[in-house]
Structure 1
Amino acid sequence: MSSNIKKSRRFLNTKFGFFVLIVALFWLKTYFAYNVDFTLGAKGGIQNFLLAINPIPAALLIFGIALYFKGKLAYWLMLIIDLIESIWLFANIVYYREFSDFLSFGVIKGSGDVQNNLGKSLAEIIHPLDFIVFLDIIVLIILLLFKFIKVDHSPFKKKNAFAMTILSFVLIFAEFGIANANRSGLLTRTFDNNYIVKYLGLNEYAAFNGYQTYKESKTRSEAKPSDIKPVLDYLKKNRSSPNMEYFGKAKGKNVFVIHLESFQQFLINYKVDGKEVTPNLNKFYGNKNTLSFDNFYHQVSQGKTSDAEMMLENSLFGLPQGSAMVSYGTQNTYQAAPAILSQRGYSTAAFHGDVPSFWNRDNTYKSWGYQYFFDSDYYTEKPSYSVGYGLKDKIFFKDSAKYIQKLPQPFYAKLITLTNHYPYELDKQNISFPATKTGDDTVDPYVQTAHYLDQAFGEFVNYLNKTGLMKNSMIVLYGDHYGISNNHRPAIAQLLHKKNITSYDLAQFQKVPFMIHMNGLKGGIDHTYGGEIDVLPTLLHLLGIKDDNTIQFGNDLLSPNRSQVVAFRNGDLVSPKYTIIGGTVYNTENGSVINPNPSQQKEIKSMQNHVTTELSLSDKVILGDLLRFYNPKGFTKVNKKDFNYKYSSAMKQLDKIDKDKKSSLLSKLRKNNTDNLYTTNAPELKK
């Protein structure tokens, strides 16, 4: 026994022995993270085998760099490499916990634009056990400092170091060959980073993502006018005609788009301890003049809220990595809702109780043609007025009214709520609803902030009724993305009153509300399948705008001949007949797994090709900035220089226009303000 220990000590006291030890420890902590911190869904012997061995080839390559150096330098290089690798692993663990995805260079590039208040969120996300990824480094440094492991000063033969490099490449290509045989088109057809990490590893994912980022940057410079033709051809074949029963029903009406932050469909009519979480939204949902869609899905990726806005305003998908608004919001050409409507006589305004730079909104909104952007600079700021990511919803809606009353009518106004944002915090004076009791500290307060948002919405609706705006407006509500990520499976199971949660259940959990309300509108619960990409064409048709020229990948939800295949950003899909998640086919009606027969396989392949094509073409439009080459009839390109979002400029412009047109709410009511018509029980304002 002692002789074996001595042999082991002698081996570890060689440079190659230390190399083997550090690679083994790196493999151990990575494989531990794969199984504990990530949900990669490895199935079968091949996938589990690849998951187990995929950290090794890249580790041999990267740590093997140190073998080309002599003495202490080689050891410190291995430790530095291990530290860099550990930071990358740690960052992905933390990011994945909230976003169910891996970090991309697009996200890292845009982090400065989205980091407001992230400190508080990170404090909630990080777990003490996450720091275990640095434990091996500390142990190895101690072993070296106290000479339990001695530095080997003898040179490591260059031919042996080179042989290790060759071996690592052979293993990487062999690993890819096995992976590609198990999942055909792994790097060409998938939009899901989980697959790349599961099959190839975290380092290989980083290399591939770096290549994608480089390729994206080249796409714009190499794009040419003819690249728009395949997009136009595709849209010509897939665009659906309007439903004439609804076409133009909202012509000339004001449009309010209310962005329900992190709000999922399951909250509608959901009860805790016998109490409705969202009584005001429930009433709105079931109103005879409200069109409510109960099979409406969010389709966001890493850009989350920004992806939702991109789809809502442009009918373009967000990108597979990063945020299109952050990376391409400033420089690209768009044909967005604010520009389309402003060129038809609408005033266009966005309201958001946070800093204007968040998600690069201050630049992107100019590219989209928003005439006004009422950001945090327009609102009264006090410490008690904000929570989490910005202004509390009750205060936000009330303060927004003083600008809404000045907007020339008709107007298009988007109001972005914030309180129902992770980490779902409220001060005690605003908590008026019981938390759920799943035992998950992230999930349980979710219904409390959702209830607060519902109260704020109810107060805003009362204001619209009192001022008469409700009679002359179309009110649109939508949830932007999930509030509870798939990493909270046990809690989700309890919320849905199920014993086990399948991938099918999680897909259905991605439903978010979409409602359209207007006095005189023929409402009801519509069961058609659709998503955020379909919002813009739906609204335009209701407003009587038959927009067949601009580039839109969605289809009118009310159209009788529309496709009901909903594309998720990772390439999965849901339809009334099939739900396809990670290659597994489910019966959408009952969630049972289907082993497709040849006829079904043909049908499924057609759906999958449709999804892959529209995602790819949408990406080409954004990455290549293809809309700069396209001048649709009836649309004038936006000139960003026309817009100035400074408070003084906006107020002067509003006053000037109202003096000429006298179309604002204040002019119609012949009032100086409507403060007395807005009632809120916000305790902060009572003080």
Structure 2
Amino acid sequence: MSYILKVKNMIQKIAIRNLDIMLFLILVSLKVMFYGKEISPEFFSYKYIFLPVIASVGVLLAVGYFLPKQKRSKFLYVLNIIISSIILADLLYYRYYKDIISIGAIRNAFLLGGVASSITSLFKLKDFLYFLDIFMILPFLKVYRNIPYKENKRIIRIGIGSLILVGAILLNGINIYKLSVDQPGLLNTMSNRIYITKVLGNVNFHVIDAYQFTKNKINNSKKLPEEKEKELVNDFQGKSQIQGSKLKGVGEDKNLIVIQVEALQQFVINAKVEGEEITPNLNKWINRSMYFDNYFYQVAAGNTSDAEFLSNNSLYPAASGAAYYMYSGNQFKSLPSTLQDKGYYTAAMHGYKDGFWNRNVMYKAQKFQDFYGESSYNIDEQVGLGLSDKSFFNQSLEKMQTFKQPFYSFLITLSSHFPYDDVKGYGEFNVGKYDGSFLGNYLTGIHYTDAQLGMFLDNLEKEGYLDNSIVVIYGDHNAISKNYIQELYDFVGEKSPNDLKWYELQKVPMFIHFPKDEYKGVNHTYAGQIDLYPTIANLYNLPRKYMLGNDLLNVKDPKVTFRNGSFTDGKSFYISWTGEYYDIKTGEKITETDDLKSKKQESAEDLQNSDELLNHNLMKKLEAESKGEGESEQSK
């Protein structure tokens, strides 16, 4: 009995000495796992994430062992608050951007301050649970710190802490190595942050992200090896080959008017609610235009700004953060710069804050001659986040009437911006059973924007601009995030949702209107925003250089690559976060073939080439070398 009593007393002493440690391990691990389940409920597994989470939290916990009891309890308490705050920040960022916040994207998170109404709509009551223990544990800590017991000697504490640290690091290393084998290159590119977080937990993700960010900063500051530069030049030259001559030069000397519409998704086109068309004006103009019905948005963390970047540069957005911040000091061979070289006047127009998304800097870098931002407009009517689309279009047309022709006008709308809660400003629209829902508010908002687009296009026609202009309209990104995906599935009548069907709903409308309604019809080519610039380059007979997209009027083998590594060739669809392929026609999963594997590798190389070009600001050098080669040819 005395032996059993001794063992019992010893266990009690160990438990008392380590109660704060055990509480920290249990509470923080549960938070990290619950967070992982929230961002990826379909594929989350406690079984697979348990060890990575325990290992990552164990590394932090081990540090606490080096401290005496009084300091250790405070350290773990503060660490709990920090981790809980990071989880909340991750959740809010995910709900807004559909991605995990990275160091490179921290500036994007601060941009939410510019849309305060958006932030409040992102909070959920259950988010408070991540902080509940922090308040409840305070009384316990006060009592615990006053419990008398003989503390372990410093050498023993360090020994135990070191053992836990080494064990946790080894276990973590095994988990990270396993992921690197299962998904080669993923941890280097950090291209699928959701998958990494789902598999390793958000503590591990942020540590890996910090490491990769630091490593990339160091590597990008170094000169790219000459051999790699030559390889990059060859790859871009291969991508820049003329793909055909259909409609080549039909836009020469004509004005170009491009309208990027906020949160315009394809599922609203030709759709009705309560018997009324949601987008009657777009439907009408689509019938008068060349309409691409398999056009995907390809944005990453930069959201709207990424759509602008893709469309004007035919390069991929930044792997982490927003290209408009990351590369604002770069040189570009952009659409406005090439049109300017042909004598065009170029202007960007947007009714929101001039510095939002760093537009006032980035537009200059892309060679827009003028940027008309919020400071250039009379804010006489507000709908949603700022200047109403109605007033924006009216004032923009007045400005365009002063432009020297030919011109390139790039307009970005605003009123249909998330969270779509300015229902009064949008006006009356009967959405029936969707009234008051997130989807219903969106339908009301996009119906309002459609009406303003219709009036603007009608006014362009009345003023005679459509006789000598090509007009392009496309959506920038999705409107319905995964938080509200069930509402969307119900609306479109989807009974058996899966990843393929989710991606198929990520299409945005894109149409090109030609003078006299020429070349109208539906084009079923699978395409993305990166293809817009090469297509316009063909129409306006512009030099096709340093583009990664396709000319949609002449492409033979279309392919759409997404920033997370997913891709489609119009026949198959690869989902990067599951590693699965789908046959688009049947909707069934298929096995990887050599051809699909090759296309997956090609997509990864395209993303890497875009990153290398941008990270090392190589456009200036490539242009100089190109001119040098041209001069050399002429001297022969």
CA contact (8 A) 2:52 2:171 kept: no
Does residue 621 in structure 1 map to residue 617 in structure 2? no
SS at match of 1:162: helix
Equivalence for 2:550: 555
Offset at residue 14 of structure 1 (A):
2.8
Contact 2:104 2:321 in 1 (8 A): yes
In structure 1, the partner of 2:356 is: 358
Helix, strand or coil for the counterpart of 1:539?
helix
Of the three residues 416, 422, 426, the one matched with 2:422 is 426
Q: Deviations over 1:482-509 (max 9, x none)?
A: 1111332311210210123100001101
Higher alpha-carbon deviation: 487-496 or 416-425: 487-496
CA shift, 1:458, in A, is 0.8
Aligned residues of 2:32 and 2:87 also touching (Cα < 8 A): yes
Are 1:372 and 2:370 matched, yes or no?
A: yes
Listed as ranges, the gaps of 5+ residues in structure 2 are 629-636
Q: Kindly report which structure 2 residues correspond to 1:438-587, keeping only aligned pairs within 5 A, or say none.
A: 441-520=437-516, 521-545=518-542, 547-548=543-544, 550-561=545-556, 563-581=557-575, 582-587=578-583
**Correspondence for 1:165:** 165
Summarize deviations over 1:119-150 as a string: whole Å, max 9, x none: 21110010121021111222221212355983
Residue pairs, 1:95-114, within 5 angstroms = 95-112=93-110, 114=111
Task: Identify the range of structure 1 (178-187 vs 526-535) with the bigger mean alpha-carbon deviation.
Answer: 178-187
1:623-676 deviations in Å (ceiling 9; x for gaps) = 11111312268989xxxxxxxxxxxxxxxxxxxxxxxxxxxxxxxxxxxxxxxx
Matched, 1:409 2:402: no
Among 27, 50, 53, the alignment partner of 1:52 is 50
Distance 2:584 2:96 in 1: 27
Paired residue secondary structure (1:444): helix
Whether the 8 Å contact between 1:333 and 1:628 is mirrored in structure 2 is yes
Q: Secondary structure at the residue paired with 2:293? A: strand
Is the CA contact 2:108–2:301 (under 8 Å) kept in the aligned structure 1? no
Query: Which deviates the most, 361-370 or 218-227?
Result: 218-227
Q: Is the 8 A contact 1:220 1:625 kept in 2?
A: no
1:393 and 1:418 in contact (8 A); partners too: yes
Listed one character per residue, the Cα deviations across residues 420-458 of structure 1 (whole Å, up to 9, x for unaligned) are: 110012242532212364588332211111001100001
Deviations 1:552-589 (A, max 9, x none): 1111000143x311101100111221011131111111
Amino acid at match of 2:564: N
- What is the rounded CA distance, in whole Å, between the counterparts of 2:30 and 2:240 in structure 1? 51
Q: Residue 27 of structure 2 aligns with which residue?
A: 25
1:622/1:189 Cα in 2 relative to 1: closer, same or farther (>3 Å)? closer
Structure 1 counterpart of 2:387:
391
Secondary structure at the aligned position of 1:407 is classed as coil
Structure 1: any 5+ residue segments left out of the alignment? Answer: 637-687
Given the alignment, which residue of 114, 118, 122 partners 1:121? 118
Between stretches 190-199 and 86-95, larger displacement belongs to 190-199
Judge conservation of contact 1:225–1:629 (CA < 8 Å) in 2: no
2:17 maps to amino acid: K
Q: Distance in 2 between matches of 1:8 and 1:415?
A: 73
Q: Counterpart in 2 of 1:179?
A: 179
Give CA-to-partner distance per residue, 1:584-611, whole Å, 9 cap, x none. 1111113111134xxxx10111110110
Supply the AA of the counterpart residue of 1:49: K
Residues 153 and 525 from structure 1, CA distance in 2 versus in 1: closer, same or farther, beyond 3 angstroms?
farther
Aligned to 1:284: 285
Question: Deviation per CA, 1:202-234, whole angstroms, max 9, x where unpaired?
Answer: 111111211222233224321348343222211
Tell me which residue corresponds to 2:80. Answer: 82
- Say which is worse superposed, 229-238 or 249-258, in terms of deviation: 229-238
Alignment pair present for 1:295 and 2:287: no
Distance 1:269 1:7, change over 3 A: farther
SS in 2 for 1:528: coil
Contact 1:240 1:556 in 2 (8 A): no
Q: Secondary structure at the match of 1:443?
A: helix
**Contact 1:50/1:179 (CA < 8 Å) preserved in 2?**
no
Report the Cα distance in structure 1 between the residues aligned to 2:104 and 2:281, rounded to whole angstroms: 39
- Give the Cα–Cα distance (whole angstroms) in 1 for the partners of residues 10 and 21 of structure 2: 13
Correspondences of 1:310-321 after superposition (within 5 Å)? 310-321=309-320
Distance 1:461 1:109, change over 3 A: closer
Q: 1:48, CA displacement in angstroms?
A: 4.8
Once structures 1 and 2 are overlaid, which stretch shifts more, 453-462 or 574-583? 574-583
Amino acid at match of 1:144: L
Match of 2:597 in 1: 605
Task: Give 2:131's match in structure 1, choosing from 117, 134, 142.
Answer: 134
Q: Is the 8 A contact 2:40 2:198 kept in 1?
A: no
Q: Distance in 2 between matches of 1:300 and 1:475?
A: 22
Query: Structure 2 counterpart of 1:191, which letter?
Result: S
1:449-472 deviations in whole A, cap 9, x for unaligned? 100110000110121111111111
The aligned amino acid for 1:524 is G
Residue number in structure 2 paired with 1:64: 62
Q: Equivalent residue for 1:347? A: 345
Shift in alpha-carbon separation, 1:470–1:176, aligned structure 2, 3 A:
same
The 2-side partners of 1:440 and 1:51 are apart by 38
Measured against aligned partners, the alpha-carbon deviations of 1:266-322 in whole angstroms (never above 9, x if no partner) come to: 1110111111000000011111xx111011111111111111111111111101211
Report the TM-score when normalising by structure 2.
0.92
Aligned residue for 1:217?
A: 217
Which piece of structure 1 moves more, 236-245 or 409-418? Answer: 236-245
**Partners of 1:97 and 1:169 in 2: CA distance:** 31
Q: How far apart, CA to CA, are the structure 2 residues paired with 1:634 and 1:475?
A: 32
- How is 1:173-252 mapped onto 2 (pairs within 5 angstroms)? 173-188=173-188, 191-224=191-224, 226=226, 227-252=228-253
Quickly say closer, same or farther: Cα 1:240–1:271, change in 2 above 3 A: farther
Closer/same/farther in 2, CA of residues 125 and 115 from structure 1, 3 Å limit? closer
Q: Identity rate of aligned residues, in percent?
A: 29
Q: Which amino acid aligns with 1:141?
A: L
What residue in structure 2 maps to residue 307 of structure 1?
306
Deviation at 1:368, TM superposition (A): 0.5
CA distance in 2, matches of 1:198, 1:403: 49
Is 1:39–1:487's contact at 8 Å kept on the other side of the alignment?
A: no
Are residues 149 and 272 of structure 1, via their aligned partners in 2, closer, same or farther at CA, if it must alter by over 3 Å?
A: farther
How does 1:262-273 map onto structure 2 within 5 Å?
A: 262-273=263-274
Structure 1 residues 635 and 91: alpha-carbon distance in aligned structure 2, compared to 1, 3 A threshold: farther
Q: Is the 8 A contact 2:384 2:425 kept in 1?
A: no
State whether residues 11 and 17 of structure 1, in contact with CA within 8 Å, keep that contact through their aligned partners in structure 2: no
Q: Number of aligned residue pairs: give it.
A: 616
SS at match of 1:69: coil
